[in-house]
Structure 1
């Protein structure tokens, strides 16, 4: 559908007259005759159905409608001028909009993003975080990092990271426990319970064929509070390895068990985008970078068990 715009030359004449308050000066600036400028102005007023100027002491004064119109038209010309100067001066950048879950952005993406910016300085990143998937064709989103194992048919799907729940504690607590060889190491340990976790201690113990009463312990309705409590040595938390990565990286938390015993995989993070976006340079560069980062983070493990490729 074509835009219903008035003649652009008429808008340019209007802006010049409003700025200079003179038809003759506007004509000189645009290298036209005063009658040609006046003709363009009349054409614009006819198109809009309003009067834009009145004369006062040989000057052109804007009407109320003209002042309102100039605010929008003037700012549009300013943006065009600024964009043109940026392009002509070699300062243009490409904006890449990334959508991801709120927990993934601060825990995993943001701590690494400096590496991408240094590698690709002409790309500006815009990161949006929300739990709901986006509609690519109704937003300006270029790529999305999604969580789960749904069937995202119709999209390019790149596996990134498995997400596992595992018992985590402070190094001091781990030292007191020693080298645990089974779930019974938690028999007398205070447990930290995340009330909103998709899988809790009850399910973890059942998977390890171990029974323990869970009536006692610290309860939190936010995962980050459970992680903070564990880092303070208040007990053992069962939390996401992706969500807890900043704590693990800083050494404030450690895994209580080796991954092959302690980890319970609950989902995966994947990169998705529409097939028409394939081949767009900024998307290809981001894909290469984040795939490399995730491979380094998980030692080459893929999310193949979720059949996302």
Structure 2
């Protein structure tokens, strides 16, 4: 199947031809394209030489399409129009008062969303769009204004504006804790019914890595029940299905409400932290700056 690059020597010549054919004028085409009339004339002459056929009949004050020029122009105008329509259909609108925020499902669900009402009350004019994905965002693709990422800097695609470490410890429902007893020896925890999580990112803490951080060995690679989203794992734990690893800052509300309880007082403190990130090389809008300032303030040292 022939391709455009194989069929013509220059895509710029096609652009000049399409504009001149639509306007019936090299001068008007040049004005639309932001070039000189001579440049348009050269591009069209180059196309005619490439096709070995004239596309315009030139007179002193006007140009007219030849029969072959009309055939090409009808196809080009339709094709360029369809391309333009498709581009507009897929283009994300640039809205200065909208901030697009990225975070994991767990961080959005347990930490960010419960706090958003405070920001929206302070800045009702700013619109927020929250994108929650467990796979790591690449801020170089341009779709996000600010991201909360769990990991260790430096980051190739972003700079960190604030960070917040966390403690991780086993938690379960109060009913399960009543069944297994009020005091659990550390080396008995791995024998309990464990709830695990599929690792979508290497930084996410697994039972074997948590066990190694607190000096235990023998943790199973896969738990008795496994989930691919942390929110599901937490709700299974609240339903009494087993013991799950709990992040203090994510689960502070559930722990305070007594919906989850700690199984041991021995936490692990991973080297990773939560980071507020801006894309490298991007100048933030006023709305993004206001939201980021608020988010950084939420990350300030203090109780979870």
- TM-score interval, normalised by the smaller of the two chains: 0.5 to 0.7
Separation (CA, whole Å) in 1 of partners of 2:227 and 2:132 = 24
Contact in 2 for aligned 1:147/1:268 (Cα 8 Å)? yes
Q: What's the TM-score once normalised by structure 1's chain length?
A: 0.55
1:151 aligns to what? 154
* CA displacement, residues 120-170 of structure 1 (integer Å, 9 cap, x when unaligned): 53445363736345253x544433322222334895422343233222222
Q: CA deviation at 1:253?
A: 3.6
Contact 1:143 1:283 in 2 (8 A): yes
- The CA deviation at 1:269 is 0.9
2:281 is the counterpart of 1:273: no
Provide the rounded CA distance (Å) in 2 between the counterparts of 1:254 and 1:164.
15
SS in 2 for 1:265: coil
* Residue in 2 that maps onto 1:288: 293
- Closer, same or farther: CA 153–11 of 1 in aligned 2, 3 Å: closer
Q: 1: distance between equivalents of 2:20 and 2:166?
A: 60
Contact 2:14–2:47 (CA<8 Å) still a contact in 1? no
Q: After the TM superposition, which residues 231-242 of structure 1 pair with which residues of structure 2 at under 5 Å, given as runs?
A: 231-241=238-248
Tell me the residue number matched to 1:255.
261
2:226 to 201, 220, 223: 220
Distance 1:216 1:45 in 2: 66
CA shift in 2, pair 1:252/1:94, >3 Å: same
* Whole-angstrom distance in 2 between the partners of 1:123 and 1:14: 44
Deviation (angstroms), 1:248 = 2.2
Report the equivalent of 2:60.
none
Q: Is the 8 A contact 2:99 2:287 kept in 1?
A: yes
Q: Would you say how many aligned residue pairs link Structure 1 and Structure 2?
A: 263
Distance 1:293 1:176 in 2: 37
Gaps of 5+ in 2: 1-10, 26-39, 57-63
Q: Which deviations, in whole Å up to 9, do the C-alpha atoms of 1:178-198 show, x marking residues without a partner?
A: 7x4664696798431426563
**RMSD of aligned C-alpha atoms?**
5.6
Note if contact 1:54-1:63 (Cα within 8 Å) is conserved in structure 2: no
Deviation at 1:270, TM superposition (A): 0.3
* Other structure's SS at 2:294 match: helix
Q: Could you tell me how far 1:271 is from its partner in structure 2? A: 1.4
For the pair 1:66 / 2:74, whether they are aligned, the reply is: yes
User: Could you say which residue in structure 2 is the equivalent of 1:167?
Assistant: 170
| 1-structure distance, mates of 2:130, 2:222 | 44
Residue aligned with 1:168, SS = strand
Cα distance between partner residues in 1 of 2:103 and 2:291 = 14
Matches within 5 A, 1:69-84: 69-73=77-81, 76=84
CA contact (8 A) 2:159 2:279 kept: yes
The 8 Å contact of residues 138 and 157 in structure 2, kept in 1 or not, is answered as no
Alignment of 1:35-50 (within 5 A): 49=48
Unaligned runs of 5+ in 1: 18-22, 24-40, 302-309
C-alpha spacing 1:202/1:71, structure 2 compared with 1 (3 Å): closer
| TM-score, normalization by structure 2 | 0.56
- 2:37 maps to none
Secondary structure at the aligned position of 2:205 is classed as coil
Post-superposition CA distance 1:249-269 (Å, at most 9, x none)? 8958413258xx243222211
Distance change >3 Å, CA 156–CA 223, structure 1 → 2:
closer
Equivalent position to 2:205, from 198, 218, 237: 198
